[in-house]
Amino acid sequence: MTTPGRQGGLGEPGFEVDPEAGAADAQVRGSDTTDRSAHLAAADGALLRADEVVAGYVPGVNILNGCDLYVEDGELVGIIGPNGAGKSTLLKAMFGLVTVGSGSVVLRGETITGLKAHSLVRKGVGFVPQTENVFPSLTIEENLQMGCYQSSGRFAERFEFVAGLFPALADRRKQRAGSLSGGERQMVAMGRALMMEPSVLLLDEPSAGLSPALQDDVFRRVRQINKAGVSVVMVEQNARRCLQICDRGYVLDQGRNAYTARGAELAKDPKVIELYLGTLGKVP
Ligand code: ADP
Ligand code: MG
């Protein structure tokens, strides 16, 4: 049997629960996924929302079976759930990288379902995939230039913003991304996505593959990005820490919403702990 509080626990020194986390209204949905009323009531006016998204990679094989999600201006939203639950697929569906069979994705009231990634970037949606998220043969600076190739006149101004968040990137701007550590690459990847001044950033497992200390660093930086005014939707395998820092969290299971509530509430919900945090909460 797992011992969820053992590792990555809420009382872990050096990783305090932010008292402001979870300040948004709680929207709890139990295992009854047919009840969308809480989502519909709360998602009205959201910055970005996904409604009843059905999506998959192969015609006739749905991975997402009607997912709902919303993020409000300024919110930090986490998505957790078992491997294969469809977390990455949901981010990709919102970023036009997976065909949405039915349902919708709406950004500030405008339907963006099926729009291509480059259009979404222009509209203020940023995406950092889990892997292969930097150009290894390019320098840090060139990677960041790629991030704003659609608006290259803004490079200097945006570089300053990104360097403010990640000073190490500015110091080493001429270094090839391929020679960086995993944690540094993650900074480059996030920095690249921030170059177009996104209003919402979609992050797929930013802490994956990093040491516990570097994971903490990534979580702090995500918080910092969020505090700088960027709304964030973050998928995380490090479920406990994710729930500690996010305003609201979603648990996805088998392509469906299983639970949603304030991050801190999900983290202490006995059912969520039993079903999802036992092993997911472990620091690798
Ligand atoms: P999670 O991120 O929650 O671990 P994913 O969204 O990556 O889950 O995957 C959900 C399901 O979709 C899995 O069954 C996975 O095998 C399948 N899948 C993911 N990517 C692809 C792909 N490119 N082609 C076909 N199936 C895929
Ligand atoms: Mg994934």
Q: Transcribe 103-147 into DSSP letters.
A: EEEEETTEE-TT--HHHHHHTTEEEE-SSS-S-TTSBHHHHHHHH
What residue ranges line ligand 1, CB within 6 angstroms?
57, 63, 81, 83-89
Q: Do the domain assignments include residue 152?
A: yes
Q: Is residue 19 part of a domain?
A: no
Residue 151 or residue 79, greater confidence: 79
Q: What is the DSSP letter of 271?
A: H
Q: What does DSSP assign to residue 151?
A: G
Measured CA to CA, the distance from residue 98 to residue 101 in angstroms comes to 9
Confidence category of residue 17, pLDDT binned at 50, 70, 90:
very low
Q: Which atom of ligand 1 is nearest to the CA of 92?
A: 6
User: Considering the domain boundaries, does residue 281 fall inside one?
Assistant: no
Q: Which mutation among 53, 57, 58, 80 tests ligand 1's pocket best, with the greatest number of atoms within 8 A of CB?
A: 57
Domain encompassing residue 238: 30-275
- In this prediction, residue 150 has a pLDDT band, given cuts at 50, 70 and 90, of confident
Residue 24 lies in a domain: no
Residue 154 lies inside a defined structural domain of this protein: yes
Instruction: Yes or no: say if 264 and 277 are a contact pair by the CB < 8 Å rule.
Output: no
13 inside domain: no
* Ligand showing the shortest atom-to-Cα distance for residue 90: 1
What is the spatial distance between Cα 108 and Cα 101, in angstroms, rounded to a whole number? 21
- The token pair at 39 is 């989502």
Instruction: Look at the chain and report how many structural domains it folds into.
Output: 1
Of all protein residues, the one whose alpha carbon is nearest to atom 21 of ligand 1 is 57
Residue 63 lies in a domain: yes
Interval 26-64: pLDDT, tens: 344 444 456 899 999 999 999 999 999 999 999 889 999
- Distance from residue 31's CA to the centre of ligand 2 (Å): 22
pLDDT, tens only, 220-267: 999 999 999 999 999 999 999 999 999 999 999 999 999 999 999 999
Q: What CATH number is associated with residue 135?
A: 3.40.50.300
Three-state DSSP class for residue 229: coil
Q: Give, using CA atoms, the residue closest to atom 7 of ligand 1.
A: 88
User: Long-range contact list for 85-88, CB < 8 A, 24+ apart?
Assistant: 85/252, 85/253, 85/254, 85/255, 86/252, 86/254, 86/255, 87/204, 87/235, 87/252, 88/130, 88/204, 88/205, 88/235
Please give the structure tokens belonging to residue 196. Answer: 């177009």
CA–CA separation, 96 and 115 (whole Å): 5
Looking at all shown ligands, the one closest to residue 83's CA atom is 1
Tell how far the Cα of 82 is from the centroid of ligand 1, in angstroms: 11
- Residue 92 CA to ligand 2 center (angstroms) comes to 10
Nearest CA to ligand 1 atom 23: 57
Whether residue 16 is contained in a domain is answered as no
Going by CA atoms, what residue is nearest to atom 19 of ligand 1? 89
Q: What is the SS3 assignment for 2?
A: coil
